[in-house]
């Protein structure tokens, strides 16, 4: 973590269903918050974030799978376009230039096959509760065109 409360998480993935659209139907709790949960692949980084007061969650084993279970650490990240500094979220598809998504087009990510995610996140502290949240500052989301049966057909050369 830097002095500016920025965190970089590289070569990761989303762990649950994303809600870049802010559609309450995509949320377990009918929330219209734009958010996603991303894996923290590095254990030390997960513990550093937890020590900094960020709510780092971990997966639990299913019954019968307790032996040799290794938890996956993840955090919820928020996407706030109603900000003085809205996020820069890019869709990377094949060899094409990264495409900057805006508030209207970012919901495309809810429907994509995703290969990899790289993110720069801003730690923000709620002045009333003291809880810390992570907001997307910059994110590159790489589309998995190998697993998308139609992406190759429409790719521009």
CATH of the domain at 27: 2.40.50
Task: For residue 156, tell me if it sits in a domain.
Answer: no
Task: For residue 152, tell me if it sits in a domain.
Answer: no
Task: For residue 153, tell me if it sits in a domain.
Answer: no
pTM for the predicted model, two decimal places: 0.88
Task: For residue 154, tell me if it sits in a domain.
Answer: no
Task: For residue 157, tell me if it sits in a domain.
Answer: no
**Is the sign of the CA dihedral 3, 121, 130, 71 positive or negative?**
negative
Task: For residue 1, tell me if it sits in a domain.
Answer: no
How many domains in the chain? 1
pLDDT tens series, the chain, 157 aa: 445 689 999 999 999 999 999 999 988 888 899 999 999 999 999 999 999 999 999 999 988 888 889 999 999 999 999 989 899 999 998 888 999 999 999 999 999 889 999 999 999 998 898 889 999 999 999 998 887 667 666 665 5
Q: Which two tokens stand for residue 7?
A: 């965190």
Q: Give the domain range for residue 55.
A: 6-60+69-147
């Amino acid at each position: 973590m830097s002095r500016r409360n920025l965190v970089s998480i590289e070569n990761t993935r989303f762990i649950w269903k994303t809600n870049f659209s802010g559609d309450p139907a995509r949320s377990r709790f009918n929330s219209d918050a734009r958010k996603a949960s991303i894996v923290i692949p590095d254990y030390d980084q997960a513990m550093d974030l937890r020590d900094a007061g960020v709510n780092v969650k971990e997966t639990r084993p299913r019954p019968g799978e307790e032996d040799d279970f290794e938890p996956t650490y993840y955090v919820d990240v928020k996407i706030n376009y109603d900000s003085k500094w809205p996020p820069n979220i890019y869709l990377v598809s094949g060899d094409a230039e990264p495409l900057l998504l805006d508030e209207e087009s970012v919901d495309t990510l809810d429907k994509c096959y995703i290969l990899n995610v790289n993110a720069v996140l801003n730690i923000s502290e709620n002045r009333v509760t003291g809880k810390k949240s992570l907001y997307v500052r910059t994110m590159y989301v790489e589309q998995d065109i190998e697993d998308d049966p139609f992406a190759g057909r429409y790719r521009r050369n």
